């Protein structure tokens, strides 16, 4: 006999989240290149870290299963 509870299909992330992730990553790459060319090496690492964190956060999916 098959179980009556089924795992629902994973929901697709909203489109704005996908665009936000892509645009943030793209802008951080441009900012890193411009800051590196102008000699602001300390700002390069900060902008790169912020862009990488935003890109990573946009790609994380969390699923929570609650059993009663």
Per-domain residue ranges of the chain = 15-58
What is the pLDDT of the chain when averaged over all its residues?
A: 75
Question: Residue 20: pLDDT above 60?
Answer: yes
- 29 Rama class: left (phi>0) / alpha (psi -120 to 50) / beta: alpha
pLDDT at 6: 67
Query: Whole-model pTM above 0.75?
Result: no
Mean pLDDT of 28-46: 85
How far apart CA 58 and CA 21 sit, in angstroms, is 5
Count the neighbouring beta carbons within 10 Å of the beta carbon of residue 51: 19
């Amino acid at each position: 006999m098959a179980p009556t509870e089924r795992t629902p299909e994973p929901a697709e992330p909203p489109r704005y989240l996908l665009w936000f992730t892509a645009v943030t990553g793209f802008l951080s790459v441009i900012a890193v290149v411009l800051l590196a060319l102008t000699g602001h090496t300390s700002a390069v690492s900060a902008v790169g870290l912020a862009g990488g964190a935003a890109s990573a956060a946009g790609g994380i999916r969390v699923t929570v299963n609650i059993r009663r």
